[in-house]
C-alpha cells in the first residue's frame, strides 16, 4: 500500500526555516508583513483567513487583517488595495475569494501590485507562470510541487493528469508540471470518460471538489496521487476527492485529507511573502522580473 506524503510534517519543517528567514530580515531592519483583505463574512472564508493569520504568527510575519463589509463599494476595495500597494511595511497583499457579485474580480486582482501579489493571481504573474518565469507561483499548486519533490521522483517525461481546471488550482498546476517537462493532461467537468485519462497517469492530481470522484479502477498501479479536494460531508467529516483507503492499495504515494495539500497552501503563502520581503533589499527592477527558483526540500 502507498506511502503517505505528509503535508503537515513538511509544512512544519518549512516553517522552521521561515522563522530563521524572518529573524534575518528583522536583523536587517525589515519586518515582513502580509495584508489579508476579507470582504463580507462567508464562514469558510473566515476560517481560511484565520488559518493564514495563524500561520503568519507562527512564523513571525506581521499580519494585517482588513475586514470590509459585504456591501462595500468596489471603489473602496480598490482604494484599500492602493493604500497597501504604497505601504512599505506590507510585502504581500491577498484578497480572500470569493468576492461578492457586485465586485469585479478581474479589476480587483489587477489592482494589486505585481510585486506584492503573493497569491499570484495578477495577470502579469499568470503570464509569468505561462512563460516559465514565475515570480509568485500560486500557493496550492506550488505546495503540491513541493509535496511531489519529497517522493524523490522526477516528473520529467511522466504522464501527469490534473483533474480540475480552475484558475486557482488546476490550470496553474498543469503549467507547473509542464514547466518540469511532464506530459500534461488537464481534465474538467466536461471531460468525456474521465477514467480513460486518469488510468494513464503516473502522477494524478485531483482538484475537482467532488468527494468519491476517484475510485481505484481509475488509478494506474504505482501512481502518485495528490488529493487537493476539501469536502465537508453531511456527517461533518472532511474528505478529499479520492477514495483514500481503496486507492491507497494501488498507488505508490498518496496525500491524506486533511493533512496533505491543505497545510502546504498556507505555508507557500508565507514563502511568497518572505520572498517579497527579501526582495526589498535588492533594486526592485533588478529582481522583480527575474526567474523564480523554487526552494529545495529535503526528502
Ligand atoms: P472550482 O470549483 O473552481 O473548480 C473545480 C474544477 O473541477 C473545474 O474545472 C471543474 O470543471 C472540475 N470538475 C468538477 N467536477 C468534475 C468531475 N466530475 N470530473 C472532472 N472534473 C470536474 O474549485 P477549485 O477552487 O479549483 O478547488 C477544487 C477543490 O480543491 C475544492 O474541493 C477546494 O475546496 C479544494 N481546494 C483545496 C485547497 C487546499 O489548500 N487544499 C486550495 C484550493 C482549493
Residue 169 Cβ contacting ligand 1 at under 6 Å: yes
Residue 207 Cβ contacting ligand 1 at under 6 Å: yes
State residue 292's pLDDT score. 45
| ipTM surpasses 0.90 | yes
Confidence band of 61 (pLDDT split at 50, 70, 90): very high
Which atom of ligand 1 lies nearest, measured to the CA of 213?
18
Q: How far is CA 126 from CA 133, 137, 194, 285, in A?
A: 10, 8, 27, 19
Residue 188 Cβ contacting ligand 1 at under 6 Å: yes
74 is catalytic: no
116 is catalytic: no
State residue 41's pLDDT score. 92
35 marked as part of a ligand binding site: no
Ligand 1 pocket mutation pick from 147, 197, 226, 228 by most atoms within 8 angstroms of CB: 228
Q: Of all protein residues, whose CA lies closest to atom 18 belonging to ligand 1?
A: 189
Across the strands, what pairs with 227?
206
Q: Closest Cα to residue 261, out of 137, 143, 169?
A: 143
Give the residue range(s) of CATH 3.40.50.10860 domains in the chain: 22-113
Q: Please give the Cα distance from 240 to 247 (Å, whole number).
A: 12
Which atom of ligand 1 lies nearest, measured to the CA of 170?
26
Q: Closest Cα to residue 262, out of 222, 237, 236, 230?
A: 230
pLDDT digits (tens, 9 = 90+) for 26-59: 998 999 999 999 999 999 999 999 999 999 999 9
Q: Please give the Cα distance from 35 to 42 (Å, whole number).
A: 18
* Å from CA of 229 to ligand 1 middle: 6
Which atom of ligand 1 lies nearest, measured to the CA of 188?
21
User: Do strands 231-232 and 238-239 pair parallel, antiparallel, or not at all (unpaired)?
Assistant: antiparallel
* 22-113 is classed CATH 2.40.10.10: no
DSSP secondary structure string, the chain? -PEE--HHHHHHHHHHHHHHHHHHHHHTT---EEEEEEES--HHHHHHHHHHHHHHHHHT-EEEEEEE-TT--HHHHHHHHHHHHH-TT--EEEEPSPPPTTS-HHHHHHHS-GGG-TT--SHHHHHHHHTT--SS--HHHHHHHHHHHHTT---TT-EEEEE---TTTHHHHHHHHHHTT-EEEEE-TT-SSHHHHHTT-SEEEE-S--TT-B-GGGS-TT-EEEE---EE-TTS-EE-SB-HHHHHTT-SEE--SSSSHHHHHHHHHHHHHHHHHHHTTS-HHHHHTSPP-PPP---
- Given 8, 20, 26, 52, which residue is catalytic? 52
Res 286 pLDDT > 90? no
Quick check: pTM over 0.80?
yes
Q: Of all protein residues, whose CA lies closest to atom 4 belonging to ligand 1?
A: 166
Domain 139-261, architecture per CATH:
3-Layer(aba) Sandwich (3.40)
Share of the chain above pLDDT 70, in %: 94
55 phi and psi angles, rounded to 5 deg: -65, -40
Lowest mean pLDDT among 98-112, 123-137, 160-174, 188-202: 123-137
Residue 214 Cβ contacting ligand 1 at under 6 Å: no
Which atom of ligand 1 lies nearest, measured to the CA of 266?
40
Grid coordinates representing 294 are 523554487
186 marked as part of a ligand binding site: no
Mean pLDDT, all residues of the chain: 94
Contacts of 227 (CB under 8 A, 6+ apart): 206, 214, 240, 241, 242, 244, 254, 255, 256, 257, 260, 261
Q: Closest Cα to residue 267, out of 42, 19, 4, 25?
A: 19
Lowest mean pLDDT among 3-12, 57-66, 230-239, 288-297: 288-297
164 marked as part of a ligand binding site: yes
* Å from CA of 166 to ligand 1 middle: 7
Give the residue range(s) of CATH 3.40.50.720 domains in the chain: 139-261
Res 203 pLDDT > 50? yes
State residue 282's pLDDT score. 64
CB 25 within 8 A of CB 279: no
64 phi and psi angles, rounded to 5 deg: -120, 115
Amino acid at each position: 500500500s502507498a506511502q503517505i506524503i505528509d503535508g503537515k510534517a513538511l509544512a512544519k519543517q518549512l516553517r522552521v526555516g521561515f522563522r530563521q528567514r524572518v529573524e534575518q530580515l528583522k536583523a536587517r531592519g525589515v519586518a515582513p508583513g502580509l495584508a489579508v483583505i476579507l470582504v463580507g463574512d462567508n464562514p469558510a472564508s473566515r476560517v481560511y483567513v484565520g488559518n493564514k493569520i495563524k500561520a503568519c504568527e507562527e512564523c513571525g510575519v506581521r499580519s494585517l487583517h482588513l475586514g470590509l463589509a459585504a456591501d462595500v463599494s468596489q471603489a473602496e476595495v480598490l482604494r484599500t488595495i492602493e493604500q497597501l500597494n504604497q505601504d512599505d511595511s506590507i510585502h504581500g497583499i491577498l484578497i480572500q475569494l470569493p468576492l461578492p457579485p457586485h465586485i469585479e474580480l478581474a479589476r480587483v486582482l489587477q489592482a494589486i501590485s505585481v510585486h506584492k501579489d503573493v497569491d499570484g493571481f495578477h495577470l502579469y504573474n499568470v503570464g509569468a507562470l505561462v512563460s516559465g518565469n514565475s515570480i509568485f507561483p500560486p500557493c496550492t499548486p506550488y505546495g503540491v510541487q513541493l509535496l511531489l519533490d519529497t517522493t524523490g521522483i522526477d516528473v520529467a517525461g511522466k504522464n501527469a493528469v490534473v483533474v480540475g481546471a480552475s484558475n486557482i488550482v488546476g490550470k496553474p498546476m498543469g503549467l507547473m508540471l509542464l514547466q518540469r517537462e511532464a506530459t500534461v493532461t488537464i481534465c474538467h467537468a466536461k471531460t468525456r470518460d474521465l477514467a480513460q485519462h486518469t488510468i494513464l497517469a503516473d502522477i494524478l492530481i485531483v482538484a475537482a471538489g467532488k468527494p468519491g470522484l476517484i475510485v481505484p479502477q481509475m488509478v494506474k498501479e504505482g501512481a502518485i496521487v495528490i488529493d487537493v479536494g476539501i469536502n465537508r460531508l453531511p456527517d461533518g467529516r472532511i474528505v478529499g476527492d479520492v477514495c483514500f483507503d481503496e486507492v491507497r492499495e494501488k498507488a505508490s504515494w498518496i496525500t491524506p485529507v486533511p493533512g496533505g495539500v491543505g497545510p502546504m497552501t498556507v505555508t507557500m503563502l508565507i514563502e511568497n511573502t518572505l520572498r517579497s520581503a527579501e526582495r526589498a533589499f535588492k533594486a526592485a527592477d533588478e529582481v522583480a522580473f527575474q526567474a523564480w527558483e523554487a526552494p529545495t526540500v529535503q526528502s
